[in-house]
Amino acid sequence: MRGQFEEACRLLLASLQQLPSYVPTYRFLASCYSHMGRLNEAREIVERLRAITPVVVPDVAHYRNPDHRELFLSGLRLAAGEVDMSHARSAPITLGA
């Protein structure tokens, strides 16, 4: 899965070059960086996001796949500092088949 996160980061960074004010891109990038263990970069992205919007972790109840929703939110919460690291998962989260 790491390769998928790396590819996603590459595409998200390219997207930010084209449209630097698009909020969802920052959220997905921060989540990806978190899942890759790149927390400093994830937190830098969250700081940039906070300069654009006060809402870092949005309501994503409309995301149909609960595994995808949790993958996104768990990374974003970690990047935003909303996760107690003493209880954080040590194993990467994977999507169900």
pLDDT tens across the length of the chain (97 residues): 677 999 999 999 999 999 999 999 999 999 999 999 999 999 999 999 999 999 999 999 999 999 999 999 999 999 999 875 544 444 444 444 3
CA distances from 37 to 22, 34, 85, 89 (A): 24, 5, 12, 12
- Does 95 reside within a domain? no
At which residue do the structure tokens 């939110």 appear? 73
- Does 76 reside within a domain? yes
Give the number of domains in the chain: 1
Residue 86: per-residue pLDDT: 47
- Does 93 reside within a domain? no
Predicted model pTM:
0.82
